[in-house]
Structures are given as C-alpha cells and as structure tokens.
C-alpha cells in the first residue's frame, strides 16, 4: 500500500539521521588528527587511515581501569538484584498476603524515585555507612529494582502451578522450589532483566560522579567525561571520537547481539 | 599492558601496602588544553624515582572546579588527599573554611620565615597564596590572559604583525580591519574571547581592572564591585565588540570553539590563557604571535593558575611527605621545566636564573610576553563562595554577550545576586558588632 | 511470615536508599544552617528557594524541557513503531539503528554532540552550510541552547520508546483490525478508533518513563553547558547538584529535592491507576 511505502521511506530517512553521529564517530576516530583542518566534519572516509587516535585516547585515559570498575559494578549489582527480585517476584506472584497491593504500590513508587533524584540524602547515607568513594557505595541504591520485581512477577505467573504443586507434594520447601524449579524455568525473563540491568547501570553518570572521588574507583562514564570534556583534549576531535568509541562500543556490540532479550523484557512487562 | 598493570597496582594500593615509604595521593587538575595530565604523571614518577621516603600517586581530577569539588568531598568523607593542586583563587575559601592547613609550620621547620619563603615567588602571585598573613598555598603554575593573533591575517588586512594593538581603541580599529562579513553574517571574526564559566569571570576581572576599577576586596572575602562604573564600562566594551563594532560572534564561546576557530582561520585574534600556549604552539599550523592584553586606562592582568595546598585532616606523617612533594614541584628546575612544557609561567623567580630557561625565552619570544605582563599582575578574584559569586557575574555577562541584557541592568542584577550569596559570611564578620 | 522473609532483602534496600532518604531530605530541608551558626528548625530554606530567581527559571526550563522532549519523542516513536511493525530485513535493521543511541551513555552522546554543535566547523554547521546557513552558536546562545539539548535527548530516547510501542502494537488482536477493514474503515480510521485506544496503557507507561527521564537525564547539561548560558539550560536536578556540590548549600539542595520528590509523587498518584490497570490487563 502506498502509505506503508511512504512511512517506510520516512523511517529510513530517520534512520540515516539517527546514524549520523555514529558515522562521524567512526570516521573521525580513524582519521589522523589535525585541528583546524577543513574536513573535520566530513562524513566521507577520506585520506589516510590510522589507529593513532585510538592509541592516544587509550594512553590519555585509564580505560582498562574504567572497564574493570564498570564491569565489577554492573556484575555486582546484577548479582544482588537477582536475589532481591527473584524472592520478591515470587512473593508477589504466588503468595496472597494481607496488604499485598499496598506493598506492591511501594515498589511501584520506586520507579519514580530513581537514585539520581535522591543524590543529596543518598550521599549522606553512604558516607554514614562508610561506603563513600567505593564501588559498593555506587551499587547500593540500585540493588532493589522495581522493574525487576515486575518482570519476575509476570514471569513466575506465566509458569503453570503444576510443577510447584508436584514438588510441594514431594516435600520441597519454598526456597528449594524457587531455586530448582522456578528459576530455571524463568530463565528467559531473568536473561532479559540482566540485559536491561547491565546496560542501564553501565550508562549511569550522576550518581557515580558524586559517590566516588578518587580515580581508582571511577567508572567509564565518569572517566569519559573527564577525558573528553575537560580541556585536556580540547580540540583533538579525532581523539575524542576514539575515546567515545572505546566507551560506546561494548554496549553497542552487546546490543546488536542480544537484541531479542532486550525487546523481550519490554514485551513481558505485560503491556498487551 | 602497562595500563593494566597500573590499574592492578592502583586497585591493590587501595588496601594499603607494607612499604617503608609513606604513600600519599596528589589531586591535580588540567584546566587548559594540552597533554598536561600525562606530563604531570611523568613529573611525579620522576619524584618517586628520585627518593624512597615518599611514594606519590598522582590523581587527575578534571577541571579546576571539579578538583575543588572532589577535594572537598574527600575532606568531608574523612579521606583527604595529602596534596591538592587548587585553583589559586580558591585558597582563600579553604583558609576561611579551615579546610586547608597553614603551611607556616612546615616552612619554619625548613629554616625560613614564611615571609622569606613567599618572597621567593613573584609579587603578583603572593596575595592569592596567603590569608591573614599566613601561607596556605604554594604557587605552582600561573598564567595571565594574553592576546593570540594570526600573523597571516594581520598581513592580509594590511596591519603590521610587529605592532599588535596596545589600547582598546587600537584593538577595535584593528579588529574591524580583520573582520570579514558576508551580509549580516560573520565569516571571519576579528577577535574571539573565551566566555565559558570560570574563564569569563577571570577575563572580565581583567577588563574591569584595566578600566580603572578594583573588582573585589583584596583583603576580605565579603565584597565585590560589580555595579560600579569601571565594571559596567568593561562589560559595555564587550557588548560593543559583539553588537556595535560587530567584530565578535554573539553568544558564549568556549575554549575549544575559540581555539578551533583560531586554528582554522575563522578568527584572527583570540583571548585566552597563556597556559594554552603549548597547545596552540602544537596545533596552529600558521604563524602566530602573542601580545599583552590591550589596556583601557591601565595595563592589568589577573593572575590565573594554581597553588599546592595541604588539606586538613592529614596525619603529621602525611604532611611531611606532602611537603617533600611540594618542595620538589616548586623547585626552580622542576618548576621551570613544567613552565616550558605548558606555557604557564613559573611563579618561582629563581627558575628564570637557570640557563635552560634563559635559552628557552631567547628562542621563543612568545613565552616571554606572559612574564613581562607580570609587572601588571593583579590577584585573582577570591571571595567567600567564590564559584557562586563568580557565576552571579558570569550569567549576566553571558546574557549581555547574547544580546539579552544591557550592561547597566546586568551588573545591577549581578551585584544583587552576589550580595545575597555573600550575606551569610558578611553577617558573621563585618556586620557582627560588639553587643 | 514467609512473605516478609522473601521481601526482606528488597525492602531493606528500598528502605535504606529510597524511603529513609526521602524522610531524611524532608528533615534536612527544614533545618537551617548558615555560615558560622548552629542549626535550627524553620522554613528558611524554602523561603530562600522560592525567592530565588534562578529557581523560577529552573521550573520554567524543566517544564519546557519536559514538554519539548516528551511530545516529539512519543509522536515520532509511535510513528516509527507503526512504520516498522512488519518483520523484515530492512525494518529489522532500521529498528536496531534507532535504538542504538539508547545503548550509549548520555555523556558519550554529549561528547559527540559538542562537536556536532561546534560553531562553523561542527557537523551540523558543516552540512547546513550547503543550504546557505552560516555558523551558529548552538550551545552558546541562550535561545538555542535548550532546543539543542532537547534535540540530544530526543535522539537518545525515541528508539527506546519505539520498542514499547512496538510491543503494544503487537498486542492488538489482528482480527479486530481485519474486521474493521472488511467493514470499510480506512487506515486512518482503524488507527484512530482501534489502535490508539488499545495503546492507552502503553502510552501511560511510556509517558511516565518519559517524564521521569525528563527530570533525571541531565548528564549532558552537566558536561556541556553547566546550566548556561545564563541559566537557559538549568534544570531542577542540575540546580540540586549545583547547590549541593558548588555552593555547598545542603539546606537549599534538600529543599529543592523535596520539591522535586513532591512533584514526582503527584505524578505517581495521577498515573498509579493507569499503571496498575496496564499491569492487570493481562491477568
């Protein structure tokens, strides 16, 4: 139908526009740097290519440290979240207790109060707990995840009760049921959640910026900001492009490989 | 590979090691363009290699403002760095808030009086390093604003590159000849003045002082003079450059935009810190020169740069180790080498007696300009809540540069905002009278 | 009970890092402590907050930013979802491209956009020059800075919202649409009378996420404009950050946080119903 074609064309145009910044990032990062040259902004690959900018960026920043910190942070948060969201998700899915909807509302509310909004009191809280300037201090406010609890509630609900009944008859405790029956069956939901969790925490900036002051605990986002936007590399756009690429590439690659998981997690929030 | 080892070492050192040397950390900013962070790390490694009593971990902490935030945060959390390289105009606040320790004791232990010690540094940098007669900071690198200009552009416009403008009038006349318009649009600007936060307040203070005034109370951190004819006149001058003489683009120009424009020939002149000289030297492919800031009534150059301080909360052991690092960094040889690399001038006067420095100045006359301009150096703007009070001015000047406000009302508003921020301090000091 | 035990880990973190901080910040906002004085109770922080012209500007900017990002993002996201709802190689590729911006940190986007918005040499001005436009100071003019920042946010989030709409569209029963088509309704009528209403819960959900994002996504403002030029990109969260970190005025920062949290809670009350309804749609 004609309308569909037009829409598709417009969407393709949007795609080109959306891609432009990434195209520049790719081209400029490979082009040898010379501030003031005429084709700084050119999107056409031109002239000699080299990895010089990547080498400069790698040497000026502390990328291995930042990668390590960020990976530790995201994995750590995920590990704790797996426990908190599975247990809570199970409770909401299978146990009918008094005040369930009120408690669920309390969880829902957390969606609207992300750690970024509460930086001031949270900062005081982690100083109080002695966690200031540590990866654990950054991780702490993220460990309870309302999104994760919804996801697990939906996931558990969609598993037929027969398996649990059978296990109950056999004398298994709730924890055993969760661990050995429900979690393995909830694997798709958990995987989707893992993808969303890691990608969102990988990109957090304001809270890690405030919770940590020494460079050995800095994460990628904070490191990137100090690297590209402080005057240190001002004007060396090729190096900035390379540095940005170093930060952006892992997630970009991860996303292209794991798209399905990501979209699946959104679908299973029950919006149908 | 090396990076990975460094990273592993950094992680391990968090828990503390059983070395005989005292381990200390050193926060330092990089406020202007250039590969300064790498060079500073190299200098510190040189210190570590030269002795075995102290081991320093250099920590790059961003801009001057960021370094301030990080240092204060670390102090509040009970983990202050042993040494911090702090923007020279923040030293006063650290002294007022008792977040930095007086260095008189450590100086005396070295066998000098504090006065003799500070006397080894250029006069212009001394006021920002002391508060109430006590030494709180040791000047490390300093700058003044200078006028960068393209030789080619001057020649094309029929101007003599050996005769840069000396007065504001000459500056405007030259800028007009250097500006190229296409209808209403600026194709080549006569001049671009960096107007982003921190830079703008610094440069404006210079213009105001050149216009006869004193921008802030040098002896006490509770007063600023925004709503005065000298400051209003200076801001009017900036307004005119954009809207009357049309030699400067409208709006806020940050350092990377100004330098990109200078390198690509889209502006003939640029006002920026001498600390960027190294960066400009490396990246400007066409010949350029530097000159004093043109004057209105008098030459005046606000000092920029940074001094080393020791935050409160450090053990005596750490203080000793910190002092060793500070002495090394401000020794004539090391200080001189840093100056040659960056374009900042070395505040330690003895550095200019060394042969390397003399050779350098003979070879690069541009570097000599900042030193010569020191004769007209003025202290950097420092008050209670310096950043807030400074922003009160900058927001208004940015509005003027963007055509959103007129200088007189802008300065009246800036004064009002600044006074509100200074009020708590004023009430506890000047207005606290005997009962 | 068992339920309490199972919920305990989550509740512990919620209490420590969501609810106790809310309580704490309310208390802090009612405590006044100025230079050289001892703490006292009072509304001074709020008086100062509402009297601050910067804060008035912040409220206006935040509203403009919210409307300026949410409306275009949702409209474009819905359009893209409709355009790309059929499976296929091209649509799949386009969907991936459009979501890529969501995968990078906002500060990385900021680093790229500083160049894109560079006057004269930047990407935007370079290509606009072909259309005869001159160098524009995108991030340095008070009128253009906010739209520029809004542009970045739209670029970043639209793809993500598109995914939600795609999921929502997938849930609309095909037979409903088929029946309407047989009855003679054209594409627009089908869209307006069937698709849009059934997308109600999706709109509500995405709307809430978009509103929270509008408040919370200010990383680019921190690193690109610093709230300027002249306060034109100052948002409520940036104001809080500035008061806390630069002016060390925790009383004012807490008062502003209370206002922000209050606004979010009102949002919660208004949308809680729709959210719950959306959740229960399936059950």
State the pLDDT confidence band at B418, using cuts at 50, 70 and 90.
very high
Q: Is the pTM of this model over 0.95?
A: no
Helices (H) and strands (E) in chain C, counts: 15, 2
Residues B28/A88, Cβ–Cβ less than 8 Å = no
Complex prediction ipTM: 0.85
Q: Which residues of chain C have pLDDT under 50?
A: 281-283
B289, containing H or E segment? strand B288-291
Query: Within the 96-155 window of chain A, which residues sit less than 8 Å (CB to CB) from chain C?
Result: 97, 100, 103, 105-125, 140-141, 143-144, 149-150, 154
Phi/psi of residue B16, nearest 5 degrees:
90, 140
Residue of B227, B229, B273, B255 whose CA lies nearest to B370: B273
Contact A247 C105 (CB under 8 A): yes
Contact B59 A214 (CB under 8 A): yes
Contact A234 B62 (CB under 8 A): no
- Tens digit of each residue's pLDDT (9 = 90 or more) over B210-229: 999 888 888 888 999 999 99
User: Which residues, at least 6 apart from A145, have a Cβ–Cβ distance to it below 8 Å?
Assistant: A81, A84, A85, A110, A197
Contact A132 B32 (CB under 8 A): no
pLDDT at A83 exceeding the cut of 60: yes
Residue C78 CB-half CA count within 13 A: 15
**CB-based contact, C9 to chain A, within 8 Å:** yes
**CB-based contact, C251 to chain A, within 8 Å:** no
What is the residue extent of each domain of chain B?
Answer: 18-143+304-373, 145-300+380-428
Beta bridge partners of B146: B272
**CB contacts, 8 Å: B37 with chain A:** 60, 232
Query: What are the structural domains, with CATH classification, of chain C?
Result: 73-84+142-283 (1.10.3720.10)
Interface B-C: count of C-beta contacts within 8 A: 94
Partner residue facing A63 (CB), from B3, B66, B73: B3
CATH for B18-143+304-373 is 3.40.190.10
- Tens digit of each residue's pLDDT (9 = 90 or more) over B106-121: 999 988 899 999 999 9
Contact C247 B186 (CB under 8 A): no
Query: How far off is chain A from C80, nearest CA to CA, in Å?
Result: 6
DSSP code at position B121 = B
Residue B384 CB-half CA count within 13 A: 24
- Looking at residue C281, its pLDDT comes to 47
As a whole-number percent, the residues of chain C with pLDDT over 70 amount to 94
**CB-based contact, B69 to chain C, within 8 Å:** yes
State the pLDDT confidence band at A74, using cuts at 50, 70 and 90.
very high
Partner residue facing C94 (CB), from A3, A15, A88: A15
DSSP code at position B292 = P
Query: How far off is chain B from A21, nearest CA to CA, in Å?
Result: 19
Phi/psi of residue B322, nearest 5 degrees:
-60, -45
State the pLDDT confidence band at B140, using cuts at 50, 70 and 90.
very high
Interface A-C: count of C-beta contacts within 8 A: 286
- Fold type of domain A60-267: MetI-like fold (1.10.3720)
pLDDT at B317 exceeding the cut of 50: yes
- Tens digit of each residue's pLDDT (9 = 90 or more) over C159-216: 999 988 988 888 888 888 888 888 877 877 888 888 888 888 888 888 888 988 999 8
User: Which residues, at least 6 apart from B326, have a Cβ–Cβ distance to it below 8 Å?
Assistant: B83, B138, B308, B310
Residues C17/A118, Cβ–Cβ less than 8 Å = yes
- Tens digit of each residue's pLDDT (9 = 90 or more) over B321-353: 999 999 999 999 999 999 888 878 899 999 999
**CB-based contact, C22 to chain A, within 8 Å:** yes
Query: Within the 239-268 window of chain A, which residues sit less than 8 Å (CB to CB) from chain C?
Result: 240-241, 243-244, 247-248, 251-252, 254-256, 259, 262-263, 266-267
What is the residue extent of each domain of chain A?
Answer: 60-267
**Spelled out in words, what is the top-level CATH class assigned to the domain B145-300+380-428?**
alpha beta
**CB contacts, 8 Å: B186 with chain C:** 134-135
Partner residue facing B395 (CB), from C34, C134, C228: C228
């Amino acid at each position: 139908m004609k309308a569909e074609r037009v829409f598709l064309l417009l969407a393709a145009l949007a795609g080109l526009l959306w891609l432009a910044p990434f195209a520049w990032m790719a081209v400029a990062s490979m082009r040898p740097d010379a501030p003031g040259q005429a084709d700084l902004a050119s999107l056409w690959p031109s002239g000699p290519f080299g990895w010089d900018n990547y080498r400069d960026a790698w040497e000026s920043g502390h990328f291995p440290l930042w990668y390590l910190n960020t990976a530790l942070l995201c994995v750590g948060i995920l590990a704790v979240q797996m426990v908190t969201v599975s247990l809570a998700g199970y409770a909401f899915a299978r146990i009918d207790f008094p005040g369930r909807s009120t408690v669920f509302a309390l969880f829902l509310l957390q969606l609207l109060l992300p750690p970024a909004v509460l930086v001031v009191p949270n900062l005081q809280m982690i100083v109080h707990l002695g966690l200031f300037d540590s990866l654990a201090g950054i991780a702490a406010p993220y460990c309870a995840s309302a999104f994760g609890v919804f996801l697990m509630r939906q996931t558990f609900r969609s598993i037929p009760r027969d398996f649990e009944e059978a296990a109950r008859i056999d004398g298994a405790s709730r924890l055993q049921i969760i661990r050995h029956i429900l979690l393995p069956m909830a694997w798709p939901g958990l995987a989707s959640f893992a993808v969303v969790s890691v990608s969102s925490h990988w990109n957090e900036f304001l809270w890690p910026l405030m919770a940590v002051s020494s460079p050995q605990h800095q994460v990628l986002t904070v490191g990137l900001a100090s690297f590209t936007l402080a005057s240190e590399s001002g004007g060396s756009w090729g190096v900035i492009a390379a540095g940005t690429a170093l930060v952006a590439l892992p997630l970009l690659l991860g996303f292209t490989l794991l798209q399905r998981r990501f979209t699946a997690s959104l679908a299973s929030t029950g919006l149908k | 590979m090396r990076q990975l080892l460094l990273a592993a070492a950094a992680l391990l050192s968090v828990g503390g090691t059983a070395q005989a040397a005292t381990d200390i950390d050193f926060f330092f900013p990089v406020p202007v363009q250039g590969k300064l962070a790498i060079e500073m790390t190299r200098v510190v490694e040189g210190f570590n290699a030269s002795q075995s009593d102290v081991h320093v971990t250099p920590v790059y902490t961003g801009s001057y403002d960021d370094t301030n935030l990080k240092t204060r945060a670390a102090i509040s959390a009970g983990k202050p760095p042993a040494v911090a390289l702090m923007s020279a105009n923040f030293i006063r606040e650290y002294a007022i808030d008792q977040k930095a320790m007086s260095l008189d004791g450590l100086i005396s232990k070295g066998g000098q009086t504090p006065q003799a010690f500070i006397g080894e540094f250029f006069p212009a940098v001394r006021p920002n390093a002391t508060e109430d007669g006590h030494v709180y900071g040791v000047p490390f690198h300093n700058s003044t604003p200078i006028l960068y200009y393209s030789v080619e552009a001057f020649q094309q416009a029929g101007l003599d590159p050996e005769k840069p403008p000396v007065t504001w009038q000459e500056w405007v006349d030259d800028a007009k000849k250097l500006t190229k318009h296409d209808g209403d649009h600026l194709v080549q600007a006569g001049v671009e003045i960096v107007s982003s936060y921190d830079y703008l307040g610094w440069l404006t203070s210079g213009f105001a002082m050149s216009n006869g005034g004193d921008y802030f109370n040098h002896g006490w951190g509770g007063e600023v003079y925004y709503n005065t004819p000298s400051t209003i006149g200076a801001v009017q001058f900036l307004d005119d450059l954009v809207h009357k003489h049309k030699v400067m683009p409208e709006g806020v120009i940050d350092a990377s935009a100004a330098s990109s424009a200078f390198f690509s020939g889209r502006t003939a002149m640029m006002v920026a810190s001498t600390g960027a000289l190294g960066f400009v030297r490396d990246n400007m492919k066409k010949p350029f020169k530097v000159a004093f800031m043109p004057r209105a009534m008098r030459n005046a150059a606000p000092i920029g740069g940074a001094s080393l301080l020791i935050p409160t909360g450090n053990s005596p052991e750490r203080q000793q180790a910190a002092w060793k690092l500070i002495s090394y960094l401000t020794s004539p040889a090391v200080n001189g080498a840093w100056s040659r690399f960056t374009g900042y001038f070395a505040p330690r006067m003895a550095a200019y007696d060394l042969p390397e420095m003399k050779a350098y100045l003979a070879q690069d006359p541009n570097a000599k300009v900042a030193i010569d301009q020191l004769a007209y150096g003025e202290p950097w703007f420092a008050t209670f809540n310096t950043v807030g009070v400074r922003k009160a001015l900058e927001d208004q000047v940015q509005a003027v540069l963007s055509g959103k406000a007129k200088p007189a009302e802008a300065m009246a508003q800036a004064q009002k905002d600044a006074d509100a921020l200074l009020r708590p301090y004023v009430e506890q000091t000047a207005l606290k009278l005997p009962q | 009970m068992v339920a309490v035990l199972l919920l305990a880990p989550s509740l512990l973190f919620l209490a420590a890092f969501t609810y106790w901080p809310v309580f704490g910040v309310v208390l802090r906002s009612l405590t006044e402590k100025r230079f050289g004085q001892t703490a006292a109770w009072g509304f001074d922080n709020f008086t100062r907050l509402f009297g601050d012209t910067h804060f008035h500007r912040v409220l206006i900017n935040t509203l403009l930013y919210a409307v300026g990002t949410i409306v275009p993002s949702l409209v474009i996201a819905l359009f893209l979802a409709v355009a790309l709802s059929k499976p296929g190689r091209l649509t799949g590729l386009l969907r991936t491209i459009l979501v890529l911006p969501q995968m990078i940190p906002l500060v990385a986007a900021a680093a790229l956009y500083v160049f894109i918005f560079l006057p004269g040499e930047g990407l935007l001005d370079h290509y606009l020059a072909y259309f005869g436009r001159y160098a524009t100071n995108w991030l340095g003019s008070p009128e253009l800075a906010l739209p520029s920042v809004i542009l970045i946010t739209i670029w970043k989030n639209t793809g993500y919202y598109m995914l939600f709409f795609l999921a929502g569209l997938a849930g609309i029963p095909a037979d409903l649409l088929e029946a309407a088509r047989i009855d003679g309704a054209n594409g627009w009528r089908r869209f307006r009378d069937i698709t849009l209403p059934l997308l109600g819960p999706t709109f509500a959900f995405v709307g809430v996420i978009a509103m929270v994002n509008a408040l919370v996504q200010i990383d680019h403002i921190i690193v690109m404009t610093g709230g300027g030029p002249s306060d034109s990109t100052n948002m409520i969260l940036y104001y809080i950050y500035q008061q806390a970190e630069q002016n060390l005025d925790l009383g004012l920062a807490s008062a502003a946080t209370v206002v922000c949290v209050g606004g979010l809670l009102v949002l919660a009350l208004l949308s809680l119903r729709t959210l719950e309804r959306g959740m229960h749609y399936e059950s």
